[in-house]
Amino acid sequence: MRYVVDHDLHIHSNISFCSFGGGQTPERILKYAGENGFRKVCLTNHFWDELVKGPNGWYEDQDFSHISAAKPLPQSDNVEFLFGCETELRHDLVLGISKERFDEFDFVIIPTTHLHFQDFTVTAKDNISFKARADAWVRRLDAVLSMDIPFHKTGIPHLTTGLISPKREQYLEVVKEIPENEMYRLFKQAAKVGVGIELNSSALNFSVSEEKLALLPYTIAKECGCKFYCGSDAHEEEHFTYAKSRLEKAVDLLGLTENDKFII
Ligand SMILES: [Zn+2]
Ligand SMILES: [Zn+2]
């Protein structure tokens, strides 16, 4: 059976510091879920756990009490609204959430590809070339997959995104530099530990000629037996307009079935 896009597990509300306009309330998110026939959505605001030392200035105030202000989340008869977070991985591979804090969340996403925080997630040596960025992509995913964390409720968001390249429109130049044998090694490990791999509608925006390369990590992940979940990464209401159609397109291009679905 074809993979059903019936959930969105990566959504920000207006309390994330990169959400603008104020319209992105939990109620608005629940309405979006209902309109798209989703059964499950998850709030994943940016988060650095105050139990872990050394956030940067941007994360400092996005601590547990800040993101918990969204609770209790509104529910409806048809939609389950989960409480999660999008944490961070520092350049020295320290995770922005403590082990005990996982218990507070239904779902935790760990971005390995936020390479836009100079001197926080990357250092100068990661910027010397596309290859150096590709090395960072491998090193950071490798680090997360080696951690002792509850992978059954952990996702890896937007493995392909403009954020991996210093020039966002050139992110495929970085993807090109990631050795395929490394992708196979990492995704076999991802399948083994049972972490979810995200299809991200904000990041999956490519032309027909870019399709093969843009989807290459996911094609390999599928081949390795990884499970996939969907995320819009919506920060503002307008991001909802194209979310489901792009996810449906990715599902078709990858030929995903219900057997490929990550279930928390
Ligand atoms: Zn992100
Ligand atoms: Zn996000």
* Å from CA of 13 to ligand 2 middle: 10
Instruction: Encode pLDDT of 170-180 as tens digits.
Output: 999 999 999 99
* Å from CA of 88 to ligand 1 middle: 9
Separation between Cα atoms, residue 230 and residue 5, nearest integer Å: 7
Instruction: Encode pLDDT of 77-128 as tens digits.
Output: 999 999 999 999 999 999 999 999 999 999 999 999 999 999 999 999 999 9
- Give φ, ψ of 145 to 5 degrees: -70, -15
C-alpha distances out from residue 259 to 8, 12, 210, Å? 18, 27, 27
Instruction: Encode pLDDT of 20-52 as tens digits.
Output: 888 899 999 999 999 999 999 999 999 999 999
Taking ligand 1, which is a single-atom ion, which protein residues have CB atoms under 5 Å away?
A: 111
Separation between Cα atoms, residue 225 and residue 189, nearest integer Å: 10
- Whether 164 is in a domain gets the answer yes
Question: Domain limits at 197?
Answer: 7-260
* Å from CA of 11 to ligand 2 middle: 7
- Whether 134 is in a domain gets the answer yes
Burial class (CB in 10 A: 0-12, 13-18, 19+), 69: exposed
- Whether 103 is in a domain gets the answer yes
Whole-model pTM: value is: 0.97
pLDDT of residue 20: 87
Unique residue bearing structure tokens 């969340």: 105
- Tell me the β-bridge partners of 234: 11
Closest CA to 59 of 25, 93, 113, 17: 17
- Whether 240 is in a domain gets the answer yes
Structure-token pair, residue 28: 């608005």
- Whether 1 is in a domain gets the answer no
Ligand nearest to the CA of residue 16, numbered in listed order: 2
Per-residue pLDDT for 150 more than 90? Answer: yes
Ligand nearest to the CA of residue 234, numbered in listed order: 2
Separation between Cα atoms, residue 25 and residue 36, nearest integer Å: 17
Per-residue pLDDT for 19 more than 90? Answer: no
Q: What is the mean pLDDT of the chain?
A: 96
C-alpha distances out from residue 216 to 19, 121, 204, 211, 253, Å? 30, 24, 12, 8, 11
Ligand nearest to the CA of residue 160, numbered in listed order: 1
* Å from CA of 51 to ligand 1 middle: 21
Could you give the number of structural domains in the chain? 1
- Whether 2 is in a domain gets the answer no
Instruction: Encode pLDDT of 180-213 as tens digits.
Output: 999 999 999 999 999 999 999 988 989 999 999 9
* Å from CA of 107 to ligand 2 middle: 13
Instruction: Encode pLDDT of 230-245 as tens digits.
Output: 999 999 998 999 999 9
Per-residue pLDDT for 12 more than 90? Answer: yes
